[in-house]
């Protein structure tokens, strides 16, 4: 078995820097855990995307805390937060903003839309038509917003957390492959365990009139510049060449695996390494291991692949197929 030796060319991260970053991430995680009961793994996956400067697609039936999760993250963060409720009549200008004529100055003024923010909640994103989705796609990919042909830089940091309901299909527009590929991870929120649901019901029904959890208990613990520093530190974590190869081999295997009609492209390999770096920091590690890659493979790949018709008829789920694939791709020993 070979031993891991950090590269001398890598950006050096001091022990003090690493400890401070790790402590800050742990604090954010603890704050969100106060209000989101029984969703520790989901919280970690969202924090991975934040650290890796990625976007998140959150899927789950109503009432499982998708919006609460985003609000909790935004409350931890002292930057700007905006929410857009996507509807079939939503226009691109409702996302980006528009130019309006000022009668006093007799000039056009730019009125910036909700996309000018740090954290953007796109609620029920699949209810908006393709044209509106395309406006959001530009911000996600190019980190710029175009109004009346004039480009504006998006805020930094900038993160989109989009929610969608997997059951209700009437009045929805499927997200195009190009947009799906821009989301670093797709997070699935499932029903809580019995003991977690009991705790949730106790929290919601004790001492408050409304029937939902609020985020008042969360304190802002991180500033915009600190998020940027965390992202820079995450991007500097050491990755062995064999781990790079492992991530690429996983993505390439989806293109050859007989279960999939359509596999993941090179952007998936890139997202997998970025997510694995963030996962390593979340776990308190100075370098990325094959286990970090394996842990993030399903969230990174599940929205980038599709099953063959035969597998769908047999009732195969994408996560099941990916789990089988990961068992077949040999991981390096570091």
Residue 264 maps to which CATH number? 1.10.8.80
Residue-averaged pLDDT of the chain: 86
Please write down the long-range contacts of 201-204, taking CB distance under 8 Å and 24 or more positions apart: 203/37
Average pLDDT on 290-298 reads 97
More confident residue, 249 or 71: 249
At residue 77, what are phi and psi to the nearest 5 degrees? -105, 125
Top-confidence residue, 252 or 127: 252
Confidence of residue 178 (pLDDT cuts 50, 70, 90): confident
The whole-number pLDDT of residue 179 equals 79
- The pLDDT of residue 169 is 61
Instruction: Kindly give, in sequence order, each residue whose CB lies less than 8 Å from that of residue 300, ignoring residues fewer than 6 positions away.
Output: 184, 185, 268, 271, 272, 275
213 in the same domain as 264: no
**Are 44 and 31 in a shared domain?**
yes
Q: How many domains does the chain have?
A: 2
What is the percent of the chain where pLDDT is above 70? Answer: 91
pLDDT of the residue at 10: 45
Q: Is 186 in the same domain as 270? A: no
Mean local confidence (pLDDT), 222-240: 94
Together in a domain, 32 and 88:
yes
Note the pLDDT of residue 227: 94
Structural domain that includes position 189: 15-236
Bigger pLDDT: 34 vs 17? 17
Of 236, 269, 289, the domain-final residue:
236
Last residue of a domain, one of 236, 263, 289: 236
For 297, other C-beta atoms within 10 Å of its C-beta total 25
Task: Quickly state the pLDDT bin for 4 (edges 50, 70, 90).
Answer: very low
pLDDT digits (tens, 9 = 90+) for 24-70: 999 999 998 887 777 888 999 999 999 999 999 998 877 667 788 88
- Beta bridge pairs of residue 324: none
Residue 5 lies in a domain: no
112 against 149, higher pLDDT: 112
Higher pLDDT pick, 201 / 253: 253
The region that residue 284 occupies, defined by phi over 0 for left and psi between -120 and 50 for alpha, beta otherwise, is left
Which of 184, 212, 236 finishes a domain?
236
Position 177 scores a pLDDT of: 79
pLDDT of residue 157: 93
Give one DSSP letter per residue of 142-182, joined into a string: HSEEEETTEEEEPPSS-EEEEEE-SS--TT--PPPHHHHTT
The C-alpha atoms of residue 187 and residue 206 are separated, in whole angstroms, by 30
- As a whole number of angstroms, the distance between CA 256 and CA 239 comes to 26
Is residue 331 very low, low, confident or very high in pLDDT (cuts 50, 70, 90)? very high
Cα angle, residue 119 at apex, residues 319 and 280 outer, rounded to 5°: 50
């Amino acid at each position: 078995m070979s031993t891991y030796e950090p590269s001398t060319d890598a950006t050096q991260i001091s022990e003090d820097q690493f400890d401070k970053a790790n402590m800050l991430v742990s604090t954010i995680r603890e704050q969100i855990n106060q209000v989101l009961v029984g969703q520790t793994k989901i919280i970690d996956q969202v924090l991975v995307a934040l650290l890796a400067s990625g976007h998140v697609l959150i899927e789950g039936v109503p009432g499982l805390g998708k919006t609460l999760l985003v609000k909790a993250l935004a409350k931890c963060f002292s930057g700007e937060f905006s929410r857009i409720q996507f509807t079939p009549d939503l226009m691109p200008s409702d996302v980006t903003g528009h130019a309006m004529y000022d009668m006093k100055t007799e000039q056009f003024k730019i009125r910036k839309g909700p996309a000018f923010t740090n954290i953007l909640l796109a609620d029920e994103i699949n209810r908006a038509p393709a044209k509106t989705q395309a406006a959001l796609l530009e911000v996600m990919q190019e980190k710029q917003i175009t109004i009346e042909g004039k480009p504006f830089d998006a805020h930094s940091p900038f993160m989109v957390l989009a929610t969608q309901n997997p059951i209700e299909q009437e009045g929805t527009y499927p997200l195009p492959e190009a947009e799906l590929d821009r989301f670093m991870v797709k997070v699935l929120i499932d029903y809580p365990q019995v003991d977690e649901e009991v705790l949730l019901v106790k929290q919601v029904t004790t001492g408050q009139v409304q029937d939902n959890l609020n985020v008042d208990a969360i304190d802002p613990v991180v500033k915009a510049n600190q998020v940027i520093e965390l992202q820079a530190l995450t991007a500097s974590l050491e990755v062995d060449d064999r781990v790079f190869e492992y991530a690429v081999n996983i993505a390439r295997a989806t293109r050859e695996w007989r279960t999939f009609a359509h596999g993941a492209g090179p952007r998936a390999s890139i997202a997998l390494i970025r997510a694995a770096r963030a996962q390593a920091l979340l776990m308190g590690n100075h370098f990325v291991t094959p286990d970090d890659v394996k842990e993030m493979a399903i969230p990174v790949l599940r929205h980038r692949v599709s099953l063959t018709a035969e597998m769908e008829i047999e009732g195969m789920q994408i996560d099941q197929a990916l789990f089988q694939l990961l068992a077949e791709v040999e991981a390096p020993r570091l």
